[in-house]
Amino acid sequence: MKRNKMCALMVACALSIGGATAQTAASNDTTAAESTQTAAPPEKFATAKKKLDDFSKELTSRIKLHGYAQGGYTYTHRGGTDANTFDIKRVLFWADARITDRWSFLFMHDFSSVVQEYYTDFRITKDKWLTVRFGQFKNGLSYENKLSPTSMEAIDVYSEGATYLSGCGSDPLYGVQYGRDLGLALFGELPNGMLAYEFEVMNGQGINRKDGNNDKDFIGRLEFRPVKGLNIVATGQIGWGHAVNTSLYNPSIAVGDNYKRDRWTAGFDYKSKVFNAHGEYLEGRDGGVTSRGGYVTFNVPLGNTNCDLVGSYDYFDFNTDLGMDQHKAIGGIQYWFYKKCRVQLQYVYKSAYVDGGQFIHGDSHAVMCQMQVRFN
């Protein structure tokens, strides 16, 4: 009897284990089948990766990033006083995006100051004959104002006339506007590149601010390139300023006054393997005060050394009635240690300067050195 019970118990256990094993196997088979059904085929992964790669290539082909920094050391001796300082002049980063073959956008920020440019371009014609620009950008007055500081010979960058008349910072009535303004521009050039033009309607108030009056400034620019390497440039501006400060150059205009603000320039640029040079005559009128001057700047490559000799002579009279004239001479050398990257050493002489709110006719001497790094 006991033997029969024992046999029955063993048979039951065997059946139970067999059933559980069969159930587990069936469950495993079902899971494997479901996994096989839900797993994506390898070709789907390949297709998704290709789409992602294509999108990445399209994005990088349409958006370009740029940047540069300029910093150095300056020693100055004037009026019996010595001064020296390290400084960071500019740290700029900008991106330009090509939305379509005709439509683009640019944003530029200077980390040492403010947002400087943001504008959009739309090319109306198939060639370069007509493009419209809207936003905040460099105005077209003077040959130099359109140039990047990374391509200028002088560490001080622009001539006294271009700095004062185009709104780069030395005109107290207009303020520090980095040669830029808010507005609309039409520009283009002939298919052969011999003739280029630009016409602008601007606020006349500078960057990152609304117009201070109801009048707009009109700026025209014409470039003629008769032979390879030579560019002849004429620019002009008519408009009304709205004073943001008082000026020792023009004491009759008070803060908040609206005043007539006209300018015109004529210059050239010549490039060759032997030397490069550019020069310009500039004249402006603010209210009843006339300012005028001119400059010539050159650089001479020293063979295959990646070194250039640079020099400049600059004359500008801030107020022809009061005789606020200044002569400036620059001499130096620069070494290009990488593409668009250089070190510069220059001596700068000025026959007059501003100190303590006074215009002083006296010698000013400076030794300046600077390093420039740029990508793209």
Q: Is the pLDDT of residue 10 over 80?
A: no
Beta bridge partners of 366: 76, 348
Q: Is the pLDDT of residue 216 over 50?
A: yes
Residue 162 near residue 188, CB atoms below 8 Å? no
- Average pLDDT, stretch 106-123? 93
Quick one: what percent of the chain has pLDDT higher than 90? 76
For position 152, what pLDDT does the model report? 95
Which range of residues forms the domain containing residue 310? 72-375
Short-list 170, 162, 159, 142, CA closest to 328: 159
Q: Which residues contact 208 (CB under 8 A, 6 or more apart)?
A: 114, 115, 136
Three-state SS sequence of the chain:
CHHHHHHHHHHHHHHHHHHHHHHHHHHHHHHHHHHHHHCCCHHHHHHHHHHHHHHHHHHHHHEEEEEEEEEEEEEEEECCEEEEEEEEEEEEEEEEEECCCCEEEEEEEECCCCEEEEEEEEECCCCCCCEEEEEEEECCCCCHHHCCHHHCCCCCCCCHHHHHHCCCCCCCCCCCCCCEEEEEEEEEECCCCCEEEEEEEECCCCCCCCCCCCCCEEEEEEEECCCCCEEEEEEEEECEEECCCCCCCCCCCCCCCEEEEEEEEEEEEEECCCCEEEEEEEEEEECCEEEEEEEEEEEEECCCCCEEEEEEEEEEECCCCCCCEEEEEEEEEEEEEECCEEEEEEEEEEEEEEECCEEEEEEEEEEEEEEEEEEC
Short-list 369, 372, 373, CA closest to 86: 369
Least confident of 23-37, 108-122, 127-141, 158-172: 23-37
Higher-pLDDT residue of 293, 30: 293
- Domain-located, residue 265: yes
How far is Cα 176 from Cα 207, in angstroms, rounded to an integer? 9
Q: Is the pLDDT of residue 23 over 50?
A: no
- Average pLDDT, stretch 228-253? 96
Residue 92 near residue 108, CB atoms below 8 Å? yes
- Domain-located, residue 67: no
Phi, psi angles (nearest 5°) of residue 116? -105, -40
For position 39, what pLDDT does the model report? 54
- Average pLDDT, stretch 305-334? 97
Name the most confidently modeled range: 124-128, 170-174, 298-302: 298-302
- Average pLDDT, stretch 247-259? 95
Quick one: what percent of the chain has pLDDT higher than 70? 89
Q: Is the pLDDT of residue 27 over 80?
A: no
- Average pLDDT, stretch 287-301? 96
How far is Cα 357 from Cα 262, in angstroms, rounded to an integer? 25
- Domain-located, residue 15: no
Q: Is the pLDDT of residue 24 over 80?
A: no
How far is Cα 107 from Cα 278, in angstroms, rounded to an integer? 29
Write the single-letter amino acid at 286.
D
For position 15, what pLDDT does the model report? 37
Short-list 241, 294, 236, CA closest to 263: 236
The pLDDT confidence band at residue 31, using thresholds 50, 70 and 90, is very low
Domain count along the chain? 1
Token look-up 């920020």 returns 109
- Average pLDDT, stretch 283-310? 96
For position 191, what pLDDT does the model report? 87
For position 34, what pLDDT does the model report? 44
The pLDDT confidence band at residue 38, using thresholds 50, 70 and 90, is low
Higher-pLDDT residue of 50, 345: 345
Q: Biggest alpha carbon distance in the chain?
A: 138
Q: What is the pLDDT of residues 338-374, one digit of tens each?
A: 999 999 999 999 999 999 889 999 999 999 999 999 9
Least confident of 6-15, 153-162, 172-181, 272-281: 6-15
How far is Cα 97 from Cα 243, in angstroms, rounded to an integer? 36
For position 166, what pLDDT does the model report? 94
The pLDDT confidence band at residue 217, using thresholds 50, 70 and 90, is very high
The domain spanning residue 318 has which CATH number?
2.40.160.10
- Domain-located, residue 353: yes
For position 302, what pLDDT does the model report? 96
The pLDDT confidence band at residue 12, using thresholds 50, 70 and 90, is very low
- Domain-located, residue 46: no
- Domain-located, residue 47: no
The pLDDT confidence band at residue 113, using thresholds 50, 70 and 90, is confident
- Domain-located, residue 187: yes
Average pLDDT, the chain: 88
The pLDDT confidence band at residue 40, using thresholds 50, 70 and 90, is low
Structure tokens at 266: 């004529």
- Domain-located, residue 281: yes
How far is Cα 195 from Cα 180, in angstroms, rounded to an integer? 24
